[in-house]
Structure 1
Amino acid sequence: MATDYQGELEKLNNTYRQIAAVSDADGLKKQIAELTEQSAAPDLWNDPSAAQALTSKLSHAKTELAKLTQVKNRLDDLATLVEMAEEESFSDPKTGAELYAEADTELKQLAGELSELEVKTLLAGEYDERFAVVTIRSGQGGVEAADWAQMLQRMYLRWAERHGYPTKVLDTSYAEEAGIKSTTFEVSAPYAYGTLSVEAGTHRLVRISPFDNQGRRQTSFAGVEVIPLIETTDHIDIPENELKIDVFRSSGPGGQSVNTTDSAVRMTHIPTGIVVSMQDEKSQIQNRAAALRVLQSRLLQLRREEENAKKKELAGDVKASWGDQMRSYVLHPYQMVKDLRTNYEVGNAAAVFDGEIDGFIDAGIRWRAAGGNEA
């Protein structure tokens, strides 16, 4: 059946207009001008964290505006290409067919890119535009689960790398035999929290165990937690008497000493029992500041969860969804990665482990926007 090019073009242009209205190109231009002016301040890098946040927001705004401009230009070029194909099909059918084939390719590519841009417009939650703090913990499965947790860490770090998002591993607790007990890292990009928050939950791996000399199939679990990074405007004050702070010597794989001083910090929030460890920075003061920031982020998330739980209780729905198994990664007897909420699945597990998870994330964001997760 012949492609209705005019009909398809109108659909794409309608989608673009909706995206442009939500994205607010004029607002982006104004934001870029303001951030550019702020980035020129001579004392900008006196506060490296604030400077990095500002430059990241500026880069993100420029990228979003460039995408909108580029897509609009390509839509206009595609309309011209279709007109040329229609004209050539009468005078030179061969050239006309080649132009139509080129139009088909561009039509599919633009449809895919507009779909990606459309997903971004669904990130309108209170904290969606924040940077993200991701924590991965091994679950049931012993050494298998510890290895699985490390595989997940690599998957998310590779995903961030593919998108050019800066990351920083804040803390890692290594398992004795292989893998990790837990890890916490930042993804420093605008909307990282809104994007990655759909990845929170329990991830299940089924494979032939590389640690079992009998080659048996094993199932292991790991939990992923995603919280928004705290900002100075959030006002999460923690009295000193609510904190217990321990210092210890940083260590790496195999228990080998990384530092020769007690620079690592373990911070416990006594009222809630939340514990944060930090050993990435070189000094105890830096680790203490980083631990406090992550603790504040977790308390902010806790406050939000309590507010949502109260709303659900008032509505008569007290079911909790955190921790429910949300995705299965099967490597034996066949290969398939399937999200159990959206039913999105792929057969190339190796690509997924190498960070190709945008399809899962986009499907998750659409699922949430459609009411799949009221939390």
Structure 2
Amino acid sequence: MAGPDFDADLKALDTTLRSIEAVLDLDRMRKEIAELSEQALAPNLWDDQANAQRVTSRLSVLQSEVDRVSSLRSRLDDLGVLVELAEDESDADVLGEAERELTSIKRAIDALEVRTLLSGEYDSREALVTIRSGAGGVDAADFAEMLFRMYLRWAERHKYPTEVYDTSYAEEAGIKSATFAVKAPYAYGTLSVEQGTHRLVRISPFDNQGRRQTGFAAVEVVPVIEQTDEVDIPEDELRVDVYRSSGPGGQGVNTTDSAVRITHLPTGIVVSCQNERSQLQNRATAMTILKAKLLALRKAEEEAKLNVLRGDVAGSWGDQMRSYVLHPYQMVKDLRTEYETGNTQGVLDGEIDGLVEAGIRWRRQQQSPA
């Protein structure tokens, strides 16, 4: 089997990386890093905690991005030198090492290229994800829990911190719903393509006749709000209920009514939080989630008005955006992008980068003018 054409591959990767560097505008990013670094050294920085968090968070994100691109540029330059030495000395072992590094760099540049497609207003934000079981009874509740685990495992693979705010367990198995945060830059832009209805087809472990069953679960993704977001909610638009936190099967995990459920009366949006011991903390977190959902709703309404003006009847996520088939064959297929894989267990274990990246590219194509 013939090896790679190193010269052509290196030129192609260099062209792609130069394009990425131009899109990201590294000079502008370095200038902003210098300005933020100066602000971060101010002795009174933490007098305004909200601003301090904004400065330090933005500085961290920018530095990470510049380091990521600079590291890839260094690796690509080093690889060119390694290939030249290996070919001069006809060293098969070194050529094999170079081939592995080429594959690794290509994968990293492809991922970075997808990152440059995340240029929406809120794409750089952290994400709030809510999963709800739909039609399909206990199989749907079990599927919702499978998706919950899938996204947590995906975040774990990328070393993204997560925080679970609320989990409502179903009576027999699985969950009715769960809400959690993915606390990483661009988590919203990345995971927003996962929003929609997911469908599972399998032999039900809960059917004593071993019949094939279909279950549905809905995934909602909204951006985490920031101090600069204007979301004012009058108190008379809220109904606040407190209750006792509970775990699977009704097992008590708290002896006080510390869990909080907030209903926004005008929209009917309901959010809950039970991860903290304090009712006040749970209420504050629930309000943060509610504001994020209202912000996303406002953005969706604005986009809907623009689509009417454009005469745009396409672009709907649709009721079913992805199917997970475990019987009679093994396949996960995204119905928007046509991306599919037979590695169903890998996907359910969090290996969803291929699906996500295809979704991001698909979305950019939908947004591009015809």
TM (norm. structure 1) is 0.90
Tell me the residue number matched to 1:135. Answer: 130
Q: How many residues are matched?
A: 368
1:214 alignment partner, SS class: coil
**Partner residue of 1:245 out of 225, 233, 240:** 240
Tell me the residue number matched to 1:155. Answer: 150
Tell me the residue number matched to 2:16. Answer: 15
- The answer as to 2:76 corresponding to 1:81 is no
**Partner residue of 2:325 out of 323, 326, 330:** 330
Q: Distance in 2 between matches of 1:212 and 1:138?
A: 18
* Offset at residue 41 of structure 1 (A): 7.4
Q: Which amino acid aligns with 1:155?
A: M
Range with bigger deviation, 143-152 or 51-60: 51-60
1:61 alignment partner, SS class: helix
Mapped contact 2:168–2:175 kept (Cα < 8 A) = yes
Mapped contact 1:131–1:190 kept (Cα < 8 A) = yes
Q: Which amino acid aligns with 2:164?
A: V
Q: Which amino acid aligns with 2:71?
A: Q
Q: Distance in 2 between matches of 1:322 and 1:49?
A: 35
Q: For the structure 1 residues 153 and 31, does the alpha-carbon distance in structure 2 shift closer, same or farther, using more than 3 Å as the test?
A: farther
Mapped contact 1:56–1:189 kept (Cα < 8 A) = no
Q: Distance in 2 between matches of 1:22 and 1:328?
A: 34
**Partner residue of 2:257 out of 259, 262, 267:** 262
**Partner residue of 2:98 out of 95, 100, 103:** 103
Q: Distance in 1 between matches of 2:277 and 2:196?
A: 32
**Partner residue of 1:115 out of 105, 110, 125:** 110
Range with bigger deviation, 307-316 or 151-160: 307-316
Q: Which amino acid aligns with 1:239?
A: P
Q: Distance in 2 between matches of 1:262 and 1:41?
A: 43
Q: Which amino acid aligns with 2:184?
A: A
> What whole-Å deviation, never above 9, does each CA across 1:206-253 have from its counterpart, x for those lacking one?
111111121111111100000011111111111111111111222221
**Partner residue of 1:350 out of 342, 345, 364:** 345
User: What is the RMSD computed on CA atoms of the aligned residues?
Assistant: 2.5
1:282 alignment partner, SS class: coil
Range with bigger deviation, 161-170 or 79-88: 79-88
* Offset at residue 271 of structure 1 (A): 1.2
1:170 alignment partner, SS class: strand
Q: Which amino acid aligns with 1:82?
A: V
* Offset at residue 257 of structure 1 (A): 2.1
2:228 alignment partner, SS class: helix
Q: For the structure 1 residues 309 and 81, does the alpha-carbon distance in structure 2 shift closer, same or farther, using more than 3 Å as the test?
A: same
Counterpart mapping for 1:132-281 below 5 A: 132-281=127-276
Mapped contact 1:268–1:275 kept (Cα < 8 A) = yes
> What whole-Å deviation, never above 9, does each CA across 1:45-92 have from its counterpart, x for those lacking one?
89999877766555443432222122111111122123223422xxxx
TM (norm. structure 2) is 0.91
Q: Distance in 2 between matches of 1:36 and 1:149?
A: 43
Q: Distance in 1 between matches of 2:216 and 2:48?
A: 40
- The answer as to 2:327 corresponding to 1:312 is no
Mapped contact 1:129–1:194 kept (Cα < 8 A) = yes
Q: For the structure 1 residues 272 and 373, does the alpha-carbon distance in structure 2 shift closer, same or farther, using more than 3 Å as the test?
A: farther
2:321 alignment partner, SS class: strand
Range with bigger deviation, 54-63 or 269-278: 54-63
* Offset at residue 119 of structure 1 (A): 0.3
* Offset at residue 261 of structure 1 (A): 1.6
Range with bigger deviation, 340-349 or 139-148: 340-349
Structure 2 runs not aligned, ≥5 long? none
- The answer as to 2:291 corresponding to 1:296 is yes
Structure 1 runs not aligned, ≥5 long? none
1:211 alignment partner, SS class: coil
Q: For the structure 1 residues 34 and 208, does the alpha-carbon distance in structure 2 shift closer, same or farther, using more than 3 Å as the test?
A: farther
> What whole-Å deviation, never above 9, does each CA across 1:174-225 have from its counterpart, x for those lacking one?
1011110011111111110000000001111111111112111111110000
1:185 alignment partner, SS class: strand
> What whole-Å deviation, never above 9, does each CA across 1:85-122 have from its counterpart, x for those lacking one?
3422xxxx4x2x44443333322222221111100000
Q: Distance in 1 between matches of 2:162 and 2:335?
A: 28
Q: Distance in 2 between matches of 1:297 and 1:131?
A: 11
Range with bigger deviation, 75-84 or 214-223: 75-84
* Offset at residue 315 of structure 1 (A): 2.3
Range with bigger deviation, 183-192 or 337-346: 337-346
2:98 alignment partner, SS class: helix
> What whole-Å deviation, never above 9, does each CA across 1:148-168 have from its counterpart, x for those lacking one?
000100000111111111111
Q: Which amino acid aligns with 2:219?
A: V
Q: Distance in 2 between matches of 1:320 and 1:20?
A: 30
Mapped contact 1:337–1:349 kept (Cα < 8 A) = yes
